[in-house]
Structure 1
């Protein structure tokens, strides 16, 4: 019974919340200029699920598909379908409405709210109606691009999280075969928060266990290296992550581990005109 909840919770935190950038190569006209909306299609595979750095002692791979419409104004909405490759686990679905904006030449903000559903019935109560809100502030300073993110998970009991990420984007000057752009962005993330989500897992909890769920503590750190091959509007990304869960209760059998995956994405530009 635990796996139904634990896998579902993965959807909440593995769901894509991209930090989208505006396209700069617009062409000015006498009274109007061209701008673009984008439709983004992506599918990915991951060899193991993860939630807050926890695999709960399980080893379940997954596939997912996302469809996003990103407006030039910075508003976007995304729908996602996730299938976990283990018999008996239902399909998971999510929808997100968000807003992304550059505040300055080196700062940006991303706000979003997501709602998650499951297909059919689950043996675990309380997971059919989960909401998730987040606010992310990003800043490029010196060598690094850093973000601080505030997250809230809404359910019968609410959890709060804060994470800080630090990354650096690199791109090779020469294109592979004169067509393919190769880039990579190593990233380190540290996350902290509360642990009320354990109540839904079907664990045999003691009073001592539950008394610590409201404590704000470090939950995990992870190091990630994605490598992306881009040609035109196509991107193929390979990703390796090392995840280290922290402050695990005695009943949680999560382990330090590597997780591998890849994602194929396609962007469809939709040209519009905008008055100067």
Structure 2
């Protein structure tokens, strides 16, 4: 049995198990809607659902691991950032529910994705002919968006080659919403529009929880030298990775048991 067939069988088993426990679900979930909407104008088939699950499970896995490595490399090279991330304390481990309350951690992830996007370029195909900037574009023309170049554009990003998570923290004043709209056109780690990566929310949760726990529980040293070598893989930048493996030594930090009366508002 080939690998693709095994993956398809695995996803089918996941769907069957899900269907067997529909009564145990709390509220409606997206898979419930996909499975139940038999009269929809655009029918979502079982094959479509398995394709979506494959994108979420397998696509988010490798890309999340790569982003976590890049983030830890930047954090190790910037000890001040490491200390700024340790806001939950030593009473308990960082949890998924903490992530919305940790804006600096989110800023570190966004800055990592800006500088080291997993997908450096996005190929797209024109579905119909059009004219852009006076140039005629024929139907079927392939467009390649250089997301790596856009997210390091010095005309928009200040010090584009410097790791500065603070650029993603909310600024004060009414200009913040306008700034966010402008930023959406320049920050493209997951693509954009209808073709935006469907696993982006999953990736933020996986990467945020992993980094939060690693910086909370350990100090980090590299095996050789004083800084992590940030050289990227050479060649066509379709998928960015560290040219040299990230080899670190974790030094344990003591964590105390969680007091029964401690609430998230106390952190």
TM-score norm. by structure 2 comes to 0.23
Relative contact order higher in (CA < 8 Å, ≥ 6 apart)? 2
Whose strand fraction is larger, Structure 1's or Structure 2's?
Answer: 1
TM-score norm. by structure 1 comes to 0.23
Q: Which has the larger radius of gyration?
A: 2
